Amino acid sequence: MPSRRSDSMNERDRRPIPNPLENPQNGRVYATSGVLGAGGMATVFEARFDAPLAIKRVVPDVIWSYWAERDLLASLDHPNIIRLVDSFEIAEGSFLIFERADSTGEDLGSRIGAALDTDPAQRPPPLEASPRDRP
């Protein structure tokens, strides 16, 4: 039987977010729609501003995680990392706004499994350690 805490976290986590959702600090207004995914620490919603976005609402019990993730992602800039676009806290929750990755509809496990099932001659070469990672 699930604990009472996990039940309440799921109820809180899955409640709808305002549509539109506005950041009061910069006035950006995000058009929100359905849930992309939910877990014990957050729910991720579909959204749009100028492009497709993902809005992550962190449950209040793990607000320390929100601050840590926000600060870390704000410091990163790399083409292979989903970019943090905006973040703010309002009465309805603590929100992280991300670029939306293109989706093939497959999960990572399926993609890896399909890659392993291919002819070895067609697999991409293994990654080599960068010179700074070598002993």
Domain containing residue 92: CATH number = 3.30.200.20
Note whether residue 79 is domain-resident: yes
Note whether residue 99 is domain-resident: yes
Note whether residue 66 is domain-resident: yes
Whether the per-residue pLDDT at 87 is higher than 70: the answer is yes
Note whether residue 86 is domain-resident: yes
Domain holding 73, by residue range, is: 4-105
Interatomic CA distance for residues 65 and 6, integer angstroms? 17
Q: Average per-residue pLDDT in the chain?
A: 78
Higher local confidence (pLDDT), 14 or 25? 25
Note whether residue 63 is domain-resident: yes
Other beta carbons within 10 Å of 45:
22
Rounded average pLDDT over 31-58:
88
Report the number of distinct structural domains present in the chain.
1
Note whether residue 111 is domain-resident: no
Residues 6+ apart with CB under 8 A from 7: none
Position 86 scores a pLDDT of: 93
Note whether residue 59 is domain-resident: yes
Residues 6+ apart with CB under 8 A from 104: 111
Note whether residue 132 is domain-resident: no
